[in-house]
Amino acid sequence: MNFNWTDEQAQLRSRVRALLARELPADWEHISRHGPGSPEQTAFSMAFCPKLAAEGLLVPHWPVEHGGRGAPAWEHFIVGEELFAAGEPRGPQYMNVNFIGATLMKYGSPAQQARYLPDMAAGRSVWCQGFSEPSAGSDLASLATRAVPRGDDYVINGSKVWTSYAGMAQTCFLLARTGSGKGGIAIFLVPMDTPGITVRAIPSLIGHGDIHEVFFSDVVVPATARLGEEGQAWSIISYALSLERVGLARYAFSRRVLDRMVGELQSQGRFSDNAVRAQAARALAACEAARVLVYRVVDQRARGLPPSAESNLARVAVVTADHAVSDFALDHFGDELCGDQWPLALAHHERAIAAGIAAGAAEIQLNLVAQEWLQLPREPRLERA
């Protein structure tokens, strides 16, 4: 097996790096420190993503008819690695590029595709994802937000929590219950300026403006806002999450931060200790393991294979790498991470906190690995006396 990049792929990587060197401002690390959902980084993305689009680098993997170049999945991932390693200048628009757009292409009506995909491909669109609820986090089957049919409309009532980017999003990819069980869930594409929607920011350590509560009070949307059919949502969600779980090259950011820290320790004469070097080696190995496992998923996608439990396995490896690098930072830099001295490392530490929660908690991913990858039997439930 040849693990080398082709000449064309190496040239693409160099091209992206040159664009970043040209377009990112001198204070970019301080801007990106605030997180993809911050006003600063979102505003930057609205200027930066159209430039990526003009270069054919925002959605190269999309079909030509939807604004892409029909490029292989690998090209999209090379671009994504470089952008995420640099602190993700696409801001919240990475969601459109990585999984919402692809989901609309597969399941959306022609009218929905015509309405939403052009703005995504042009870099002018910010979405949020209305999945988790106060009593339904990673267990989406327990969600309670309800959409009740009324003539040609639906009336939506309920709430969402931990909703990334809701404060500046134009549209919400919303899950709501129309019946009972998994088969009673539907997906709606809801403009965030629809009357009855209230958004409240949640102060947190993991990003400035990243997460929110969203409340729906008698929100009326037309039936044409429903994505797919009632009862089809679970297969749509599974498809979308398989793209989301490996859509961010977190391992590339972790590796960049680790390299920066090792270089600093070397300059201070603190990298000769064998225990320090061993811990750095373990963190590096975790980053490389995550990268290779993600590449397996990308390879399957490039060959047109259906989603599998390998995406869950890769997600667990990515979380492990994030935490290994974050632990290394805390052990050897500690209080130096606070303030403005190390914005890159501090941003990584804060995002690593959320790594095991976003896109499905790590515990849920491990359960899926056990069931679908290892084929382990479920433990029988004990009857109460």
Same domain assignment for residues 198 and 250: no
Q: What is the CATH number of the domain that holds 87?
A: 1.10.540.10
Same domain assignment for residues 369 and 249: yes
Same domain assignment for residues 38 and 84: yes
Give the pLDDT of residue 181.
78
Same domain assignment for residues 118 and 135: no
Give the pLDDT of residue 126.
95
Burial label, 50 (beta-carbon count in 10 A; 0-12, 13-18, 19+): middle
Same domain assignment for residues 281 and 360: yes
Same domain assignment for residues 164 and 204: yes
Looking at the DSSP bridge assignments, the partners of residue 177 are: 146, 185
Q: What is the CATH number of the domain that holds 273?
A: 1.20.140.10
Same domain assignment for residues 121 and 41: yes
Reported pTM? 0.84
Domain of 58 in residue numbering reads as 7-125
Give the pLDDT of residue 240.
85
Decide which of 125, 156, 173 is a domain's last residue.
Answer: 125
Same domain assignment for residues 249 and 224: no
Same domain assignment for residues 256 and 367: yes
Give the pLDDT of residue 385.
45
- Whether residue 379 lies inside any domain: the answer is no
Same domain assignment for residues 54 and 112: yes
- Whether residue 378 lies inside any domain: the answer is no
Decide which of 95, 125, 155 is a domain's last residue.
Answer: 125
Same domain assignment for residues 99 and 133: no
Contact 253, 348 (CB under 8 A): yes
- Whether residue 1 lies inside any domain: the answer is no
Give the pLDDT of residue 15.
96
- Whether residue 162 lies inside any domain: the answer is yes
Decide which of 206, 231, 256 is a domain's last residue.
Answer: 231
Specify the number of domains making up the chain. 3
**Which contacts (CB < 8 Å, 24+ apart) does range 280-285 have?**
280/328, 282/324, 283/254, 283/258, 283/321, 283/324, 283/325, 283/327, 283/328, 284/255, 284/258
Looking at the DSSP bridge assignments, the partners of residue 212 are: 201
Give the pLDDT of residue 89.
94
- Whether residue 383 lies inside any domain: the answer is no
Mean pLDDT by 10 residues, the chain (385 residues): 82 96 93 83 94 95 94 90 92 91 96 97 95 73 89 97 90 93 90 97 72 95 94 85 70 93 94 96 96 88 78 86 93 80 82 66 69 73 50
In three-state secondary structure terms, 187 is strand
In this structure, what DSSP letter does residue 130 have? E
